Amino acid sequence: MSENEVQTKPARDRAAAHTHIKGLGLDENGVARPVDGGFVGQEQAREACGVIVDMIKARKLSGKAVLLAGAPGTGKTALALAVSQELGPKVPFCPIVGSELYSAEVKKTEALMENFRRAIGIRIKEVKEVYEGEVVELTPEETENPLGGYGKSISHVLVGLKTAKGTKTLKLDPSIYESIQKEKVSVGDVVYIEANTGAIKRVGRSDVYATEFDLEAEEYVPLPKGDVHKKKEIVQDVTLHDLDSANARPQGGQDIMSMMGQLMKPRKTEITEKLRTEINKVVQKYINQGVAELVPGVLFIDEVHMLDLECFTYLNRALESEIAPIVILATNRGKAVVRGTDDIIAPHGIPPDLVDRLLIVRTLNYTLEETRAIIERRSKTEHSPLSPESSEKLALLAAETSMRYALQLLAPAYILTEIRKGDAISVQDIDEARLLFLDAKRSTQILEQNSKFLE
């Protein structure tokens, strides 16, 4: 088979449940456009979430909580995701489901606090002294081994760096030579070396060598401007959980037994409250000095009615902490028994004292027109074109069963369309897919008719 005969199918993007959500779809005055950002309808809920985004940006919502309440399939998770996209990639967004907190490895309250800390970002600004330039000389200077023997040891390394402004030769410690070898630095590479730590980073190959014939894909970078020795501001984004984990990891000895001991330990280890308090003090000190900036992110807890009384009590306390994220909760329950109790019935399955703290945003059921528009948008996202008749059919089917069932039929119906070599999903394809895949109502009816299933 010749090279020309090899044909590949065009790659189709994987469409997840909320791939089509790009933002809240609000205009400059915060008014929801009927169809925008991947949303159709839910104008009131989107406008409320727009106000929440503004409050987060103005730092007026830290330690407060929002509840998205509505029927299944009305876009609660989509709204939370849109809030995170409106805030941008620099603001931490930590989505979890209520049932995730129940683990055999870690206490539920510990897991809740861990996710709280994941949703709080710290932006650290450091001014570092660095040497930056193209390597023009790389000479390890050897000396006699002080321990005797035949081998020689490296006493220091001469590194010549060139920028557009000049050249400088550095006499570096032999330990840096190991870093140079690890980074695979050679003459002609552009590097930068931190003056305080001696850490070295290879940026790429100087674009002077771009005409060379090179089998490997090489990244070429321009010759750095300015002096070889300069001050550079480096911004790092980390979360409080990253700091907790880095400081909680045990630093054992270098013998085999201590390494094996670390390997045998479970992956998840509890971080003590004392350690968190110490880290909070250090973070607060950095903030006061102007070195760091606190970035409260969003912790999104879906299916919040799955939490029990112990978790709700802990959540109440965590929200009162000095360093707390914005918490967005979502539930599709009305009045329900609070988990962990036998007889306490509360709105949304959440204790009344916590409900009092929440800003509640309600999501409403979609009209037939909105349902049709959502189905048509989703069919474009999934690359499954619909005929006008099948679009109408699926909208009526969504009203009869559920939105989710109608959307789930798109993929199998399009497979049937491809089998019959059609261009768009027809009503016949939807009917055939319905025969193959039951909805919840028909499945329940079959179970009731065949009582042996229930034995």
- Is the domain of 333 the same as that of 236? no
Q: Is residue 16 part of a domain?
A: no
Q: What is the CATH number of the domain that holds 329?
A: 3.40.50.300
Which of 289, 319, 334 is where one domain is finished?
289
The pLDDT score that the predictor gives to residue 117 is 84
The yes-or-no verdict on residue 7 having pLDDT over 60 is no
Q: Is residue 234 part of a domain?
A: yes
- Is the domain of 217 the same as that of 276? yes
* DSSP code string of 352-381: HHHHTTEEEEEE-PPPHHHHHHHHHHHHHH
Residue 31 carries which DSSP code?
A: P
Q: Are 314 and 354 in contact (CB under 8 A)?
A: no
The yes-or-no verdict on residue 214 having pLDDT over 70 is no
The pLDDT score that the predictor gives to residue 212 is 57
- Is the domain of 143 the same as that of 208? yes
Task: Tell me the pLDDT tens digit for each residue of 393-414.
Answer: 888 888 888 888 888 888 888 8
Which residues neighbour 351 within 8 Å (Cβ) at sequence distance 6 or greater? 309, 312, 338, 344
- Is the domain of 155 the same as that of 268? yes
Distances (CA, A) of 235 to 122, 126, 399: 10, 6, 51
- Is the domain of 128 the same as that of 224? yes
Q: Are 299 and 61 in contact (CB under 8 A)?
A: no
Per-residue burial over 187-204, b if 16 or more Cβ lie within 10 Å, else e, is eebbbbbbeeeeebebee
- Is the domain of 194 the same as that of 317? no
Which of 363, 393, 410 is where one domain is finished?
363
**Mean pLDDT throughout 129-158?**
74
Q: Is residue 6 part of a domain?
A: no
The pLDDT score that the predictor gives to residue 18 is 64
* DSSP code string of 166-206: -EEEEEE-HHHHHHHHHTT--TTEEEEEETTT--EEEEEEE
Q: What is the CATH number of the domain that holds 378?
A: 1.10.8.60
Q: Give the other-Cβ count within 10 Å of 355's Cβ.
A: 15
- Is the domain of 111 the same as that of 131? no
Identify the domain containing residue 99 by its residue range.
35-119+297-363
5 — pLDDT class (breaks 50, 70, 90)? very low
**% the chain with pLDDT above 90:** 0
The pLDDT score that the predictor gives to residue 312 is 87
The yes-or-no verdict on residue 265 having pLDDT over 60 is no
**Total number of domains constituting the chain:** 3
Task: Tell me the pLDDT tens digit for each residue of 229-244.
Answer: 777 777 777 888 888 7
Q: Give the other-Cβ count within 10 Å of 71's Cβ.
A: 14
**Mean pLDDT throughout 298-311?**
86
At residue 286, φ and ψ (nearest 5 deg) are: -60, -40
Q: Is residue 24 part of a domain?
A: no
**Mean pLDDT throughout 18-29?**
73
Which of 241, 264, 289 is where one domain is finished?
289
- Is the domain of 285 the same as that of 336? no
- Is the domain of 133 the same as that of 275? yes
Q: What is the CATH number of the domain that holds 154?
A: 2.40.50.360
The yes-or-no verdict on residue 52 having pLDDT over 80 is yes
Q: Model pTM? A: 0.66
Query: Tokens 């999934």 sit at which residue?
Result: 382
The pLDDT score that the predictor gives to residue 361 is 87
Collect contacts of 424-430 with beta carbons under 8 A, ≥24 apart: 424/385, 424/386, 424/387, 424/390, 425/379, 425/384, 425/385, 425/386, 425/387, 425/390, 426/387, 426/389, 426/390, 427/387, 427/389, 427/390, 427/393, 429/390, 430/390, 430/393, 430/394, 430/397
Rg of the chain (C-alpha set): 30
Token readout for 321 is: 């902490």
11 — pLDDT class (breaks 50, 70, 90)? very low
Q: Is residue 267 part of a domain?
A: yes
Task: Tell me the pLDDT tens digit for each residue of 170-212.
Answer: 877 777 777 787 777 888 888 878 777 777 778 888 777 766 5
- Is the domain of 379 the same as that of 316? no
The yes-or-no verdict on residue 16 having pLDDT over 70 is no
- Is the domain of 285 the same as that of 302? no
Distances (CA, A) of 283 to 20, 87, 214, 273, 290: 38, 23, 47, 15, 11
Token readout for 422 is: 């059609």
Q: Are 357 and 345 in contact (CB under 8 A)?
A: no
Token readout for 352 is: 């009344």
Which residues neighbour 94 within 8 Å (Cβ) at sequence distance 6 or greater? 115, 118, 119, 297, 298, 299, 300, 325
337 — pLDDT class (breaks 50, 70, 90)? confident
- Is the domain of 110 the same as that of 252? no
The yes-or-no verdict on residue 253 having pLDDT over 80 is no
The pLDDT score that the predictor gives to residue 233 is 73
Residues written for the chain: 455
Q: Is residue 7 part of a domain?
A: no
* DSSP code string of 46-93: HHHHHHHHHHHHTT--TT-EEEEEE-TTSSHHHHHHHHHHHH-TTS-E
The pLDDT score that the predictor gives to residue 149 is 55
Q: Is residue 426 part of a domain?
A: yes
Token readout for 447 is: 């179970």
Nearest of 135, 134, 151 to residue 143 by alpha carbon: 151
Q: How far apart are alpha carbons 59 and 376 in whole angstroms?
A: 38
Q: Is residue 338 part of a domain?
A: yes
Query: Tokens 């491809």 sit at which residue?
Result: 418
Q: What angle do CA 431, 436, 439 make, to 5 degrees?
A: 85
**Mean pLDDT throughout 68-93?**
83
**Mean pLDDT lowest among 102-106, 384-388, 404-408:** 102-106
